[in-house]
Structure 1
Amino acid sequence: MSKKIVIIGGVAGGATAATRLRRLNEEDKIVLFEKGEYISFANCGLPYHVGGVIKERENLLLQTVDGMNQQYGLDVRNFSEVLEINPQSKSVTVLNHQTGERYVESYDQLIISTGAKAIVPPIVGIEEADNVFRLRNIPDMDQIKAYIAENQIATATVVGGGFIGLEMMENLVELGIQVQLIEMAPQVMPTIDIEMAQLIHSQMNIHGVNLILNDGLKEFRQNGRELLLTSGKTLQTDMTILSIGVLPENTLAKVAGLELGYKGGIKVNQQLQTSQPDIYAIGDAIEVIDLVSGQPTHIPLAWPANRQGRLVADIINGSDAGYFGTQGTAVAKVFELTVASTGNSERLLKQAGIEYETIHIHPNSHAGYYPGASPIALKLLFGIDGKILGAQAIGTEGVEKRIDVIATAMRFGARADQLASIELSYAPPYSSAKDPVNMLGYTADNILSGKVATFQWSQVDELISNNAFLLDVREEFELATGTIESSHHIPLNQLRQRLGELPKNQPIYVYCQVGHRGYNAARILSQAGFDVKNLDGGYKTYKTAHYRIKPLDYLSFNQTRHKSEDLKEPSEIIHLDACGLQCPGPILKVKEKIDKMSIGQKMEIEASDFGFGADLAAWCQNTGNTLLSNKIENGKVLATIVKGKSSISESEMKNLPSLGQEGVLKETKDGATMVVFSGDLDKALASMIIASGAAAYGKKVTIFFTFWGLSILKKQKVKKSGLAKLFDIMLPSKANNLPLSQMNMGGMGASMIKYIMKQKNVDSLPDMIEQAHQLGVKFVACTMSMDLMGIEKEELFDFVEYGGVATFIGDSEQANMQLFI
């Protein structure tokens, strides 16, 4: 027996349901109502036609009314708006916008596919603004394109940093329009977490987008040409695109008395039936179940709408299939970056009260030795039972492939450690023998099996404030790209020989650049009896999370001119291909090359690691070299540097966009370092006075005590034997027993100085040392000198730290005052 099935709304859900219904049953009468002209179009492609990427408008039109009617034998009626659903009479009231006719159409089953509607808050002045647009359909797109073509648009503002907002931002930039984006949240792209979103923020700054976060649009002024923000700031704009988000289009369902749920989405069961059994609902109009948390939610994406359109047709034709939840797998292009995610973010997991573990890794998209490899920032979230809860990835190549694999594993209930067992295709141009997905599995297994404990970037600042012991195991040259405050430094290849420098009475928080060497260090230390944790994702994740967004005043990096009169211009330009190298490989190659270059010589660098731009900016800043340009093109970092300093005007310096945490070419060294070689009282006093003064001035002060200077740090004698005992006899027993460098006279001179100091109310040396310590001065004892002179740790003040020349050099890199006493 044939049925009459009425569908309200076309596009993804409705059009899919209509064609599937016909394939399953040739006898049923199928009527599809669409209030607009276009029944099936690629709404995800709309921004790209605005930007000229999709050249032909017709390419967006997937099906026409005549085409669907003829091919599928449907009754498709466009320009026909359903005004009312009448569940009791099983009919709908329809208005034909072309003829003005109103009529009633009956149904046996009804499918609601009304989609979502744009959120348009009641902003003051919006009615008077004639340059404000939204992008939901073909007519909206046509209006935006026409306005840009007919007006001299120099600046545009996008309000909202979701998928559509970011896509519109990029396409407006591609048209040569200067864009500013306003987002009320602390980040764009709410489906990912803040440390991942920072990569997008950095990319936006690089492309000249003025990103304004934690602020909202309060009022339109001057017919939309001026914007007043909630912070009180005002912005000038030639046009505004509102992309604040969407809500389910539920007007018909609400009036018909259908049950509504999360954000007003139409409630449906697993068979997509509403509270009226003969009425079904699909797509962006409905509430769905979050596959991870099991809680009701609203996820307006194309894949669920298409899937539900097919399923509802099957169910109406007797299938026992069901729709069991949405995991929110999505991907977007943001300039050269691909951003993809599946499942829940940390924010959603916290809201749902779900315990979880986190992994960050930074693998290459394919084998590093094959040209064109680029890094992927990959994040995996999984429960304490190993269940995969979500994943996020950002990079320039191979990003969506990895998320799709993880999304598939999630859908079929795989644990995080089981990702290691997925056999994926491999050839050097496409992957590596250990695919990034496999690497996530190996890392998860290490955590779940207890082989390593980790800590997160978000915990670092609290650890610093609590004086935790942070250990940097990177190589010396890497420190120029930045370090975590208060870190101790022992390169990994020296760690086994220097275990004695580490405390066993407190946890050690170890880190490297991306986490791999930190893991190796953690294994060494844990097996040596230390309580150790490894920084997940390494310094790279920590640095990315702390990226500082700065308004750019619409100046691009390439428009900034540099003065280089003081530099020679050698004819030969050095070219460096650092593509495919994993961090710290690119920086190491830069250092190797620049060491062989002449002052003033240029080097052009190409790298596939999109984080290399920030690293290079910091490295140039700390090594006295000049960064002339730093941009991303076709998925690669293209940079030009000059060996030595270039004289850049102060105004030009201010206009340089920041690619790193502290900006480009901005002198930020505020430290002071001292080597104290002497063990004489007068020189020790001078050292403490200078150190305390510098610390009070706000400088970060490190004093490195070596050879005879170690006597200044002594607090007590300890029992010794052999040569150590002989040295002990010859050296002062503690800081208060130091001799004068001149006129010591068997100790009489030192006693006279101490007497005069007391009369003049000058603090004693031990008191000065304690004051310097309280001011934050860092006291480092040279371990090599201690070994040679038989000095034990027990002899020295408790606050003394221990290190070698690398420790001193690392601190010196951040200093603009260095003394040898």
Structure 2
Amino acid sequence: MKIVIIGSVAAGTSVAAKARRNDETAEITVYNADHDISYSICGIPYFLGGEIDDLATLTPRDADWFKKRYNVDIHTRHEVTAIDSNAKTVTVKNLTTHETKVDHYDTLVLATGASPKVPQIDGVDQSHVFPVRNIQSAAAIDQYITLNKSEKATIIGAGFIGLEMAEQLTARGLEVTLIEGENQVMPHLDRDMAFRIAEELQKNKLTLLLGESVTQITKKTVTTSSGNTIDSDLVILATGVKPNTKLIEGTAIARGESGAIKVNQQMQTNLPNIYAAGDAAESFSVITEKPLYRPLGSTANKMGRIAGDAMTGGTLAHRGILGTGILRVFGLTVGYTGLTEQEARAEGFDIEVLHNIKPAKAEYLGGAEMVIKAIADRRTKRLLGVQIVGEDGVDKRIDVFVTALSFKAKVDDLFHLDLAYAPPFSTTKDPVMYTGMALKNAIDLKNKLITPEELVTRISNGEELQIIDTRATKQYEASRVDGAINLPLAKLRSEASQLNPALTTVTYCNKGVTGNAAQNILINQGFKDVYNLSGGNKNYQSFKNSQN
């Protein structure tokens, strides 16, 4: 069997390695238009910021290494320009000599990756404007900054790459302006969580412009849709990527709803003996089972391994993805998985939403707060999605939630996890466990939750609510929920008779725990409809600020 693979970054090399492990007799040829193979795109910002000293660290393997280890022939600077699925051939152009040849295949793999979205902006093609695309672009950006002594950078786009580049260029000493067309950073987060990242950016002296688009780029300035003119001698395009499917134009290979190549669980396309994997291929959601396109190196590696196994008689099948992501933004770590609140509502789920503010480890050992936003389905009690923002411990918790979501865990299950505990690493009731416990109680209507957004809406609609601030008077006077009365928890039992048990009541404290205790007191005293404010006053004030 002759296997031809187009592309040799994460997916392509994974296909080749797995196919060789399964079949020592197959002839495996890889064509790659780029200079480098199997490189870490995700490491590029950290090279540009100086955390990685040598760019070669991101290209640990070359074609000779693959030949010796796997007996795979990788041809760099060779672009496949056409596919003939009937004849089972590909046309290949040598980009160094400009010679063209036709090669045949028994099995073909499309691992062509993704390409940057380049916005239609006047001046976007100038020499100081760069996408963050590959090792060559990383070297070019680094060289440009050094030779031109760049001082002011504008980054267009505040997603993964935009935020990582903002952090790293700031670390390199550049003055950074970050421009995002949406009204929030990180479109894969709910706005109330994304706002916390925006605060961190501003705390680190970045200029952040939201709800703005760039209309013109000159050698020294960037102009936005609102008329802002920003001094800038370097522009980074972080406006997202799209599946690189140009090669299949004019063929019968089908695209999916996302525009990426449509595949089944064995990574097979609609044409026999043609597979697709990585950023060029469409995945699907573990939760909704609908098509989902989230290009990441981890997913590309997984898809490549599945394709290599399937074409050589293996039984691996793709189980879908959750759209998990994690990144560092200065002092914060941001992790997310599954559906956001907005996505869950759009899918028609009847959801419960919890904001859980807890330290990552014992506070007496310096445990810093994490904000966990968890979404669950009330009907099935299944966990649907989680977003976490915090200084420490986010990676550990998000991976626990990923595991739970992957195995379709219910919120009840989280409390019963036998998680590792010692004060330097966790709290006795880990934030994951507390999340499950609080969601279960809310869904069972024992301890109902109300989000800041829902509370603000009900107040704005003129609903008569009894809002009780259970904190100390000094805290109440410093900041409070609109319309709240101060009744500290220590006095609540004796003074609850002053309240109206027939009115809808909302209790709250600073972060949620004392508010929950007050909620239990009132429920036990016969109050009919009592909510605890999700995330307490701290979360409420953050939400209010995010709306300004």
1:430 aligns with 2:393: no
- Does the aligned pair in 1 maintain the 2:37–2:63 contact within 8 Å? yes
State the Cα deviation string for residues 201-237 of structure 1 (Å, max 9, x = none): 11101100111111111222xx342222122222221
State the Cα deviation string for residues 754-805 of structure 1 (Å, max 9, x = none): xxxxxxxxxxxxxxxxxxxxxxxxxxxxxxxxxxxxxxxxxxxxxxxxxxxx
What residue is the counterpart of 2:504 in the other structure? Answer: 507
Runs of 4+ in 1 over 6 A off after TM superposition: none
What is the distance in 2 between the residues matched to 1:134 and 1:350?
34
- Does the aligned pair in 2 maintain the 1:132–1:224 contact within 8 Å? no
What is the distance in 2 between the residues matched to 1:82 and 1:123?
30
- Does the aligned pair in 2 maintain the 1:288–1:326 contact within 8 Å? yes
1:292-331 to 2 correspondence within 5 Å?
Answer: 292-331=287-326
What residue is the counterpart of 1:716 in the other structure? Answer: none
1:63 aligns with 2:61: yes
Change (3 A) 1:171 1:481: farther
Q: CA deviation at 1:453?
A: 1.1
What residue is the counterpart of 1:637 in the other structure? Answer: none
What residue is the counterpart of 2:205 in the other structure? Answer: 208
SS at match of 1:362: strand
What residue is the counterpart of 2:374 in the other structure? Answer: 380
What is the distance in 1 between the residues matched to 2:445 and 2:459?
25
What is the distance in 1 between the residues matched to 2:21 and 2:284?
29
1:698-737 to 2 correspondence within 5 Å?
Answer: none
What residue is the counterpart of 2:449 in the other structure? Answer: 454
What residue is the counterpart of 1:135 in the other structure? Answer: 132
State the Cα deviation string for residues 453-510 of structure 1 (Å, max 9, x = none): 1111112322333153221111122225411222111011111111122123421111
What residue is the counterpart of 2:436 in the other structure? Answer: 441
What residue is the counterpart of 1:646 in the other structure? Answer: none
Amino acid at match of 2:489: L
Change (3 A) 1:226 1:417: same
1:490 aligns with 2:487: yes
What is the distance in 1 between the residues matched to 2:132 and 2:544?
33
State the Cα deviation string for residues 635-693 of structure 1 (Å, max 9, x = none): xxxxxxxxxxxxxxxxxxxxxxxxxx9xxxxxxxxxxxxxxxxxxxxxxxxxxxxxxxx
- Does the aligned pair in 2 maintain the 1:509–1:535 contact within 8 Å? yes
SS at match of 2:123: coil
- Does the aligned pair in 1 maintain the 2:261–2:269 contact within 8 Å? yes
Tell me the TM-score normalized by structure 2.
0.97
Change (3 A) 1:254 1:356: farther
1:95 aligns with 2:93: yes
State the Cα deviation string for residues 101-150 of structure 1 (Å, max 9, x = none): 100110001111111111112112323x3311110100110111011101
SS at match of 2:545: coil
Amino acid at match of 1:252: L
Q: CA deviation at 1:277?
A: 2.0
What is the distance in 1 between the residues matched to 2:530 and 2:76?
66
Change (3 A) 1:464 1:450: closer
User: Mind listing any 5+ residue stretches in structure 2 that lack a counterpart?
Assistant: none
What residue is the counterpart of 1:350 in the other structure? Answer: 345
What residue is the counterpart of 1:473 in the other structure? Answer: 470
What residue is the counterpart of 2:40 in the other structure? Answer: 42
- Does the aligned pair in 1 maintain the 2:466–2:503 contact within 8 Å? yes
Amino acid at match of 1:375: E
Quote the sequence identity (%): 36
1:250-649 to 2 correspondence within 5 Å?
Answer: 250-369=245-364, 371-384=365-378, 385-465=380-460, 466=462, 467-530=464-527, 531-547=529-545
What is the distance in 1 between the residues matched to 2:546 and 2:501?
36
1:51 aligns with 2:49: yes
- Does the aligned pair in 1 maintain the 2:258–2:291 contact within 8 Å? no
SS at match of 1:62: coil
Q: CA deviation at 1:519?
A: 0.9
What residue is the counterpart of 1:124 in the other structure? Answer: 122
Amino acid at match of 1:136: R
Q: CA deviation at 1:387?
A: 0.7
Amino acid at match of 1:25: D
Q: CA deviation at 1:348?
A: 1.6
Q: Which has the higher contact order (CA 8 A, sep 6+)?
A: 2
What is the distance in 1 between the residues matched to 2:205 and 2:478?
24
Amino acid at match of 1:461: V
SS at match of 1:546: helix
What is the distance in 2 between the residues matched to 1:90 and 1:186?
48
1:174-193 to 2 correspondence within 5 Å?
Answer: 174-193=171-190
Q: How well do the aligned residues superpose, as a CA RMSD in angstroms?
A: 1.4
What is the distance in 1 between the residues matched to 2:375 and 2:457?
22
- Does the aligned pair in 1 maintain the 2:154–2:222 contact within 8 Å? no
What is the distance in 2 between the residues matched to 1:44 and 1:274?
27
SS at match of 1:241: strand
What is the distance in 1 between the residues matched to 2:522 and 2:476?
22
User: Mind listing any 5+ residue stretches in structure 1 that lack a counterpart?
Assistant: 550-660, 662-821
What residue is the counterpart of 1:679 in the other structure? Answer: none
Amino acid at match of 2:249: K
Amino acid at match of 1:205: Q
What is the distance in 2 between the residues matched to 1:159 and 1:436?
35
What is the distance in 2 between the residues matched to 1:263 and 1:226?
35
State the Cα deviation string for residues 562-602 of structure 1 (Å, max 9, x = none): xxxxxxxxxxxxxxxxxxxxxxxxxxxxxxxxxxxxxxxxx
1:231 aligns with 2:229: no
Change (3 A) 1:383 1:548: closer
What is the distance in 2 between the residues matched to 1:41 and 1:83?
23
- Does the aligned pair in 1 maintain the 2:192–2:546 contact within 8 Å? no
What is the distance in 2 between the residues matched to 1:350 and 1:548?
20
State the Cα deviation string for residues 596-654 of structure 1 (Å, max 9, x = none): xxxxxxxxxxxxxxxxxxxxxxxxxxxxxxxxxxxxxxxxxxxxxxxxxxxxxxxxxxx
SS at match of 1:63: coil
Q: CA deviation at 1:353?
A: 2.2
- Does the aligned pair in 2 maintain the 1:471–1:510 contact within 8 Å? yes
Change (3 A) 1:422 1:120: same
Q: CA deviation at 1:263?
A: 2.9
What residue is the counterpart of 2:11 in the other structure? Answer: 13
What residue is the counterpart of 1:587 in the other structure? Answer: none
SS at match of 2:358: coil
State the Cα deviation string for residues 396-444 of structure 1 (Å, max 9, x = none): 1111111101101111111012100111111111112211111111112
Amino acid at match of 1:27: T
SS at match of 2:236: strand
State the Cα deviation string for residues 247-284 of structure 1 (Å, max 9, x = none): 11111123322111223110111111111021000111
Q: CA deviation at 1:243?
A: 0.5
- Does the aligned pair in 2 maintain the 1:247–1:263 contact within 8 Å? no
What is the distance in 2 between the residues matched to 1:354 and 1:103?
54
Specify which of 107, 110, 120 is matched with residue 109 of structure 1.
107
What residue is the counterpart of 1:197 in the other structure? Answer: 194
- Does the aligned pair in 2 maintain the 1:202–1:547 contact within 8 Å? no
What residue is the counterpart of 1:154 in the other structure? Answer: 151
State the Cα deviation string for residues 332-387 of structure 1 (Å, max 9, x = none): 01011111111111122223222211111111111223x22111111111111111
- Does the aligned pair in 1 maintain the 2:469–2:476 contact within 8 Å? no
